[in-house]
Every structure is written in C-alpha cells, then in structure tokens.
Amino acid sequence: MEALGIGNFYMFVTACLMLNLYPGPDTMYIIGRSVSQGRLAGVAAVLGITSGGMVHGVLGCFGLSAILAVSSKAFLALKLLGCCYLLYQAVQMFRTASQLADTEIRIQDHNSFFRIYRQGAVTNILNPKVALFFLAFIPQFISPAAANKPLAFLVLTVTFMTTGTLWCLVVALAASKVSSRMRSSKRCSQWLLRINGTLFAFLGLKLAMTDIQ
C-alpha cells in the first residue's frame, strides 16, 4: 500500500471496523428493513447502502464532493432532497401498513428486491453527511507525496465499504432471524412497518437539521 501513497493501512482497517460497529443511521435502516420484511429485504438494503456510499467515494476521488464542503447552497439543496425522500418513504410505509392484507410481508420478486436496493442507494446518495465523512476521514491516510491520490482515495474507499458491507450483512441476517416469528403475525408486521416508517421520518428530520459543519 505504501507504493500507492497510503500510510498506516492496518490502522485504517482497524478504524473502519470500529466505525462500522457503531450503530449509525445506515445500520438502523438495515435493521428496520430486515426486521419488517425479512432476510432478502435486509440484503437489498445493505447492497443499496453500499452502492450509495461508493458513489460518494468515487465523487470524492475527483474532488467533486468537496463542493458540498464549500458551498452552503449545494449542501442545503442535497440535504432538502434527502429529507423529502426519507419523509416520502416514511409515508409510503405507513400506507403499506394500513393496507396490509397478507399474513406476512416478504420479498417475493426481483422488482421488490430492486425497489429496496434503490431506496437504500438513493437514501445514501442524497445524504451530504456521507460525502463530508469521506472527505474528512480518508485523506488522513493518504501521503501528500502520493503520485496518484485519486487511486489511493478509491482503494481506501473500497476497503471501507467492503468492511462495512460484510458487517451490515451480518446485522441484516441476525435481525431477520430474530424477528422471523414476529413477521408471521399480521398485526406484528403492521407495527414493524410503522416503526420502520417512524425511523425514516426521524432520519429525514434529523437530516433536515444537519448543518454544513
């Protein structure tokens, strides 16, 4: 890794593991999907979150994410889009819970899987805090003398997202397993969806109150 201008790589991996263990909004979203809709929904959420994170990582490689750090208007625009999207999804979950007719909610086709994947990706892409995190965290492990800083940034981004994805898959599978009996009850399924909708609303409002600092 030193050839790429990456310093303290093992320290970086350790930091990644510690950060991933801390339950943030992504983890709560994945748990919510896994608990309310099962294993495949959790996996779809994980892959979506990972894809959204990689978009920010690639943009960070070329310095495009830095626009959010210096432009309050760009930060505000993306933040409001993310807030509106999360609140919209919260409303949809409450509607689904009220219209629930089946005895169990689960992923039954590829369209459902892709819809949750897309939701996770868009949720992460529209969160400017993710871009600012990459800009603040990853450059600390890149030498100022690195010959190819974008490549070093990309390698560290992939490393961070890989460790995060593996951990989130464990969380998704565990949450789905624990809640499997709850989903067999229509009433429990409805309440799980309502709780998930409440979580989305909370994340949307929390994002709305985020400032550029």
Per the domain annotation, does 58 fall within a domain?
yes
Tally of domains within the chain:
1
pLDDT at 101 over 60: no
Per the domain annotation, does 20 fall within a domain?
no
Helices (H), the chain: 9-21, 25-37, 39-61, 66-70, 72-99, 110-125, 128-137, 149-178, 180-183, 186-208
- Structure confidence by residue, pLDDT tens digits, 74-93: 777 777 887 887 788 788 77
pLDDT of residue 213: 54
pLDDT of residue 131: 82
pLDDT of residue 104: 47
pLDDT confidence of 151, banded at 50, 70, 90?
confident
Per the domain annotation, does 203 fall within a domain?
yes
Per the domain annotation, does 9 fall within a domain?
no
- Structure confidence by residue, pLDDT tens digits, 35-68: 878 889 899 999 999 999 999 888 888 876 667 6
- pTM for the model: 0.75
Range of the domain at 146: 25-208
